[in-house]
Every structure is written in structure tokens, then in C-alpha cells.
Amino acid sequence: MLILKRIRLSLQQGIALGFLMIIILGTVLLMLPLSNRSGQALGFSEALFTATSATCVTGLVIFDTFTQFTRFGQLVILALIQIGGLGFMSVSIFFLIIMGKKIGIKERSLLMESISTPQIGGAVRLVKRVLLITVLFELLGAFLLSLRFIPLMGTAKGVYFGIFHAISAFCNAGFDLMGSLEPYVSLMPFAKDAVVSLTVLGLIVVGGIGFIVWDDLIRHGLRVSHYKLHSKVVLSVTLALIVLSTALFFFLEKDHAFADMPAGERLLAALFQAVTPRTAGFSTVDTTSLSEVGIVMTMVLMFIGASPGSTGGGVKTSTFLVILLSVVSYARSRNDLNVYGRRLEDSLIRRAFSSVTVYLMLVVSGVMLILLSQNLPFEKVLFEVFSAIGTVGLSLGVTRELNSYSRYIIIFLMYIGRVGSLSLAMALAERKHQNVLRNIPEKISIG
């Protein structure tokens, strides 16, 4: 007890530990015979993989969720998705509010870091709005999806499927129960259904733009000039990525994944393919049928991901824009980095480059370790690693072929992808002592 009292965790360490505890609890529950249709206990590595994928809202699976897990197991997975999507601190604060407990500075600081809000003031108010937004959109999504599922499955099952897929989509998790129709098909049976596709797309986008943006939208409506710079950046980058990616997929995949599709269906499929790689993981077409260019585009979108303080992963849209603008600014020999009439601080630029560097180093390391462990095609392993660290869930069909060693690598990457590669590095680093004295500067040649 004395040792535990002396432990002082940083904000990043607290968040990382919180996610780890949720994963461990989920692993134990999924190992129970009660969770599995076979009535036998699930192996530790399989349960850990599934619990990590659900908590980190990834969607990579080694078992079909419907055919492997009982209703209890499915509900465990759904709870992990909801907690992982909102962030465990948001859920904890929610229960503290219900119980009437006082929320101190420590809890507010953890909450601020968990939902990526830049200031501690108003963090509790923001989480209340986050929970309200979540409930409203998930209920709306569940209602719309149920309209399509009930005629096919009956009332009780249709409503349950509507709720499950609405939560999974809003949290950008990618888990599905369509194994009741055919194992591992995701949403492909509903590729032509505009209601299902557009509802899932809408939930993915809403969950992926981040809670800070939704707070701005609620407070200021359509008065864009009143938005924070963060919201302007996220909304503009998100819109640009969706429009550009949809157009590229529409034309590039017409003779491949979208072959023989009428123009309307192809546009719907292209729109879905443009959104789902940005950490959602659902699919309405077979990912393995994509052209090589389409696969590369998908990996780029998985790399960019969603936005800060959202249910998604990736390096984030704002980080991508900062990197892109930095390159353009350097090419034009400009010292300042300006966007929407504001100058970005140098520390923000360094953080963006550091985050991307750590991210890519982890990708390279993960690919090398898996290739050393087993003989798999390079492009499929690269795709799998991008999907894991981006918490996406799409795969080219190698997830179920991974051996135990490779599974643990993917588990680690999913965990880092949700916690944040840079945040985890900061959490593990010792930063108790800072140097007061600075060394003499000297230039080196670059490029």
C-alpha cells in the first residue's frame, strides 16, 4: 500500500493504464465459457486480441463475432467498444456525475487529456455534451438501421442488430454481426442499400470529427467565423478527404472492385470506401478485390485517420494538415506556418513531425517483426500493420493466418494506435528533470 501511494502517474500514463485495465477485464470476460458458443473457455491470446481490438475500436478479428460469441460475449464486446470509443475517462466521469461525486482537478486533468480538449476549464461540461451527442446519434442510427434489419431478421433481432451496428459505427470500431448471414462478410450484403450505407457513413463521420468540433457546432451553429481554429481545420480537411477520395475511388475502381456496378451504386461504394479506411473498418466490397492503387490509397487514408478527441485513430487530420502546410511553407521559403489567418506555434509543428515519425517507425518495426516471424506477402502485412496502428480493422485476409507471435505484435500496435504513439512514448519516458542549461547551437547540413 505504501508503494502504491508513492506512485505518481502522469496524465499520459494514467490514460495508458486505464485502457490496459479495461482490456484485461475484457479479456477475462471473453475467456469465460459463457461468452463462447462452444461452451468452452477461449484461449488467452485469442481473447486478448479480441478485447484489444474492441477496446481500441479497431475491428480486426480472428473469429467471426456472431458465430464465435454468445449474446453475452457480444455484449461484452459492445461495452468495450463504447468505453474505448468514448474514452474510459469520459465514462468514469459520467458515473461520478450520476453518483453525485465531486470531480477534482486530477480527474479534470485526465479528462482534458483523454478527450484532447486544450483547456481544463469546461472539461466536465464538454463530456456531458459528448455523452448526450453519443446517445442521440447512436439512437438515431439504431432506429434507421432497424428499419432495414427488422424485415430481414424479425423485430427483436433487427433492433438488437441496429443498436450493435450503430454503436460500432459511431465508435469507428468496425465490429459486425453479419456472420448470421455469412461469416466475415461485414456489410457487403447491404452494398446496394443506401439507407444502411449512408447511416453507417454518417455515424462514422460524426464520431470521427471529434468532440471539440461538435461542441463548437452546438454552440455556434452555422456561424463558421465563430469556430475555433481546430474545428475549421478538422472540418475542411475531413470534407476535402471525403470528396477527393470518393472521386478517385469512383474512377480508379470501375474495372476492379466496382466492376459491373451501375453509376449510382458505384458512387455509393466509392463514398463508403473513402470514409471507412479512416478508422472505421466496415466494408461493402471485398477489400482484396481493390486495385493496387486502391490498396495504396486505402493505406494512405488509414495513415491519416480521424480527428483528435474523436472515436477514431490514425495520425489525425490536423496533424496531416500541419505536416502538409509545413512542407509547402518550407518550399516557399516562409518562416511562419499560417492557416485561416492564424500562425501555428513551432512547438505544434515539432509535435506533429515527432508523432508521424514515431508512427512510421512503429509501422516499419511491426512489418519487419511479422515478416521475420512468418512467411506472408509483404503488401498484406504492411496493410495489416497500417490497419492495426490506425485502429481501422480492414484486412487483406491475413488476420486469421497470424501466428501467436504476430498476434501480440498486432495487439501492441492496436493499443498504441488508440492511446497515441506519441502519448505512449511520453508516458514511458522519464521527464522528471529538465535541463536548465542549453548547449551552444551549431548547424549541420540537411538534405
Q: Which residues contact 166 (CB under 8 A, 6 or more apart)?
A: 138, 139, 140, 141, 142, 145, 199, 203
**Sign of CA pseudo-dihedral 83, 86, 90, 94:** negative
What's the average model confidence in pLDDT over 359-379?
95
Give me the pLDDT at residue 7, please.
Answer: 53
For residue 343, which phi and psi values (nearest 5 degrees)?
Answer: -100, 130
DSSP run (H or E) holding 339: strand 338-339
Contact 150, 158 (CB under 8 A): yes
Give me the pLDDT at residue 90, please.
Answer: 58
| Residue 100 pLDDT class (50, 70, 90 cuts) | low
Residue 385 lies in a domain: yes
What's the average model confidence in pLDDT over 143-168?
96
Long-range contacts of 149-154 (CB under 8 A, 24+ apart): 153/180
Give me the pLDDT at residue 10, please.
Answer: 59
Strand partners, 36: 69
Residue 248 lies in a domain: yes
CA-closest candidate to residue 192, choices 245, 281, 267 = 267
Residue 424 has pLDDT above 70, yes or no: no
Contact 366, 409 (CB under 8 A): yes
Looking up cell 490536423, which residue turns up?
A: 318
| Residue 124 pLDDT class (50, 70, 90 cuts) | low
Contact 186, 326 (CB under 8 A): no
Q: What is the pTM of this model?
A: 0.88
Residue 328 lies in a domain: yes
| Per-residue model confidence as pLDDT tens digits over 187-208 | 999 999 999 999 999 999 998 8
Q: What range defines the domain where residue 116 resides? A: 8-427
Residue 447 lies in a domain: no
Q: Which residues contact 72 (CB under 8 A, 6 or more apart)?
A: 34, 35
| Residue 177 pLDDT class (50, 70, 90 cuts) | very high
| Residue 4 pLDDT class (50, 70, 90 cuts) | very low
For residue 24, which phi and psi values (nearest 5 degrees)?
Answer: -65, -45
Give me the pLDDT at residue 281, please.
Answer: 87
Give me the pLDDT at residue 120, please.
Answer: 45
For residue 86, which phi and psi values (nearest 5 degrees)?
Answer: -80, -25
What's the average model confidence in pLDDT over 175-179?
95
| Per-residue model confidence as pLDDT tens digits over 292-311 | 999 999 999 999 998 887 77
Residue 13 lies in a domain: yes
Residue 274 has pLDDT above 70, yes or no: yes
Structural domains counted in the chain:
1
Residue type, 349: I
d(CA 42, CA 35): 8
Residue 309 lies in a domain: yes
Give me the pLDDT at residue 74, please.
Answer: 97
d(CA 54, CA 218): 29
The C-alpha cell that represents 291 in the structure block: 486495385
**Sign of CA pseudo-dihedral 267, 272, 277, 279:** positive
Pick the range with the lowest mean pLDDT from 13-22, 84-93, 131-140, 176-185.
84-93
What's the average model confidence in pLDDT over 358-371?
95
| Per-residue model confidence as pLDDT tens digits over 214-267 | 878 888 888 888 888 889 999 999 999 999 999 999 999 999 999 989 999 999
Residue 435 lies in a domain: no
| Residue 409 pLDDT class (50, 70, 90 cuts) | very high
DSSP run (H or E) holding 14: helix 11-31
Largest separation between any pair of C-alpha atoms in the chain: 74
Strand partners, 343: 338
Residue 76 lies in a domain: yes
